Structure 1
């Protein structure tokens, strides 16, 4: 049924549950697993003298963290005998990067974690998962 499954990762504990679910779904369906880690852009400011970290140092650190997250997902897939295609991308909004990547890679299913916020916290903070749901016409499996 599913041929290409995308699991975005931010390296959090809740995301690890989504990764486990995505790996099992890929195994059951004989699907290819794809993973994506979104990096924050450098927070440029008008007052460059008070930058806490030089831009290239920040970018390099973001790339190392994102690559490690993608490698962890691919290692989990490999442990189950599955192939995994990992990507990293810089984006201001993670949900946009996830939607764009899902479309570009022609995925059939997105498996995402949800932090389970409700009430005022959900209203004020929003949710990357909610935004993906709102902006994509693909099945999305939400793991809590």
Structure 2
């Protein structure tokens, strides 16, 4: 049914649950598993005084968090006996990066976690899962 499953991860608990589901599905269907973590290289506006330092600290922390998320997802794949490929995407706008990567890599399913933000948190922080659901050209399975 599915040949290539895309698993976006941010290293959160919901992403870890999604990794277990994606790895299980990949094993059941004999699908390849592709794991991505998205780092926004320009998360805030440039401020002349000291922002270079702040940007360097942000990028270092983001890179570290992305790698930890990938390692956790790779462990889920390994435990399920599924081979996987991992990528860190450096793009502005994680939802667009995820959906574009799904298309360019030939993925036919996206499995991702959702924090289930509601109310003001959803308005302020947005929902990557909701945006992926809107933009995706392939089915999306959201794990809570």
* TM-score over 0.5 for the pair: yes
SS at match of 2:11: coil
Residue 101 (structure 1) aligned with residue 101 (structure 2): yes
1:104 & 1:70 partners in 2: Cα distance? 20
- The residue aligned with 2:47 is 46
Task: Please give the per-residue CA displacement for 1:67-111, whole angstroms capped at 9, x wherever unaligned.
Answer: 232122112211221101100011221101101110111101000
Question: Which portions of structure 1, spanning 4 or more consecutive aligned residues, are displaced by more than 2 angstroms?
Answer: 49-65, 117-126
Offset at residue 50 of structure 1 (A): 2.5
Where does structure 1 lack aligned partners over 5 or more consecutive residues? none
Offset at residue 127 of structure 1 (A): 1.1
1:80 & 1:95 partners in 2: Cα distance? 27
2:58 & 2:120 partners in 1: Cα distance? 33
Considering only aligned residues, what root-mean-square deviation do their CA atoms show, in Å? 2.0
SS at match of 1:117: coil
**Farther off after superposition, 71-80 or 103-112:** 71-80
The alignment's TM-score, normalised by the length of structure 1, stands at 0.87
